[in-house]
Amino acid sequence: MRGYEPKILCVAQQKGGVCKTTSVLSLSAAWAMEGKKVLMLDTDPQANLTRNILDYEKVKKDISLLYRGEADIKKLITKTPYDNLYIIPTRTKLNRVENLERTLSTFNTLRKNIPLIAKRYRYIVIDTPPSLGLFTISALLAATHVLVPVQPTFFCQEGLGDLNETIRDARESNPNLKSVRYFITLYDRRTIISQDLAAVLRQQLGDKVFKTVIHKNIAVEESQYAQKTIFDYAPKSRGANDFKALAKEVEEWLENA
């Protein structure tokens, strides 16, 4: 029998606005709906994930306390309005950690702390900022799997090389980082460029790209303003169906890679 293996998924891409936060929330919500306990970590000082699911003004304890070594990780876990779905939230003051405290122990914060609580959750999913700085690196040092959203735009390949290099560096210190996969997002069926670029990506990255494509769907954006998951806001929408399909594929990968 295989021993216990934590599944720690880091969603990363230094390009902004490519659906990192949306996929962290939607994938986690899909698994939670199936009765699996999921913990999300918001390591982006923009705090978008936190705002999407909690009342930001009421967030008192946030992940910056962990990075500063001032709180026990167990005390930071916060219930969301959804069953089985938990979050370690952030506030924008997390910016100050990045500015002041770039020591080795800050980079290793998640790697050191997540194992203390990992057994309680089937999946741990980390949202990262649009950069390859402290927080993305600290997530990569803790992760077992990395998921990269790619938007099929003219410049989408730019930066993937830097990201891969950062992942390679992280692997040197984190032997638990097993596997990297990509998915195509914000896909617009009506444009030829979306179709062409998606085909190019599949050609270059091969079976590292998941079959499911996340289409542009206004319900996804609206669900954010409503502070609901896509499954709660518009369960029959294209967005809900896309994310359900992606959750299935990603889960298979997490369980087997």
Ligand X SMILES: Nc1ncnc2c1ncn2[C@@H]1O[C@H](COP(=O)(O)OP(=O)(O)OP(=O)(O)O)[C@@H](O)[C@H]1O
- With beta carbons less than 8 A apart as the criterion, state whether 43 and 126 touch: yes
Of 240, 182, 195, 257, the residue nearest 25 (C-alpha): 240
Q: Binding residues for Mg ion, how many (CB under 5 A)?
A: 3
Residue 255 touches which of Mg ion, ligand X, none (Cβ within 5-8 Å per kind): none
Rg (CA), the chain: 17
Site string for Mg ion, 19-38 (x = CB under 5 A): -xx-----------------
Residue 14 engages Mg ion in binding (rule: CB under 5 A)? no
Q: Binding residues for ligand X, how many (CB under 6 A)?
A: 19
State the minimum distance, in angstroms, from the CB of residue 244 to Mg ion.
21
Member of 8, 45, 106, 130 binding ligand X (CB under 6 A): 130
Distance CA 54, CA 58 (A): 8
Residue 16 touches which of ligand X, Mg ion, none (Cβ within 5-8 Å per kind): ligand X
Query: Which residues within the stretch 14-53 sit at the binding site for ligand X (CB under 6 A)?
Result: 16-22, 44, 46, 48
Helices (H) and strands (E) in the chain, counts: 13, 8
Distance CA 122, CA 5 (A): 10
- With beta carbons less than 8 A apart as the criterion, state whether 10 and 139 touch: yes
State the minimum distance, in angstroms, from the CB of residue 250 to Mg ion.
17
State the minimum distance, in angstroms, from the CB of residue 123 to ligand X.
18
- With beta carbons less than 8 A apart as the criterion, state whether 101 and 69 touch: no
Of 195, 198, 203, the residue nearest 184 (C-alpha): 198
Enter the DSSP assignment of 256: H
Residue 48 engages Mg ion in binding (rule: CB under 5 A)? yes
Member of 32, 180, 197, 220 binding ligand X (CB under 6 A): 220
Residue 224 touches which of ligand X, Mg ion, none (Cβ within 5-8 Å per kind): ligand X
Query: Which residues within the stretch 48-77 sit at the binding site for ligand X (CB under 6 A)?
Result: 48
State the minimum distance, in angstroms, from the CB of residue 203 to Mg ion.
28
Residue 235's Cα: distance from chain center in Å?
21
Let me know if 140 is exposed, middle or buried by CB neighbors in 10 A (0-12, 13-18, 19+).
buried
Distance CA 90, CA 112 (A): 18
Residue 84 engages ligand X in binding (rule: CB under 6 A)? no
Residue 217 touches which of ligand X, Mg ion, none (Cβ within 5-8 Å per kind): ligand X
Binding residues for ligand X (CB under 6 A): 16-22, 44, 46, 48, 130, 186, 214, 216-217, 220-221, 224, 239
Binding residues for Mg ion (CB under 5 A): 20-21, 48
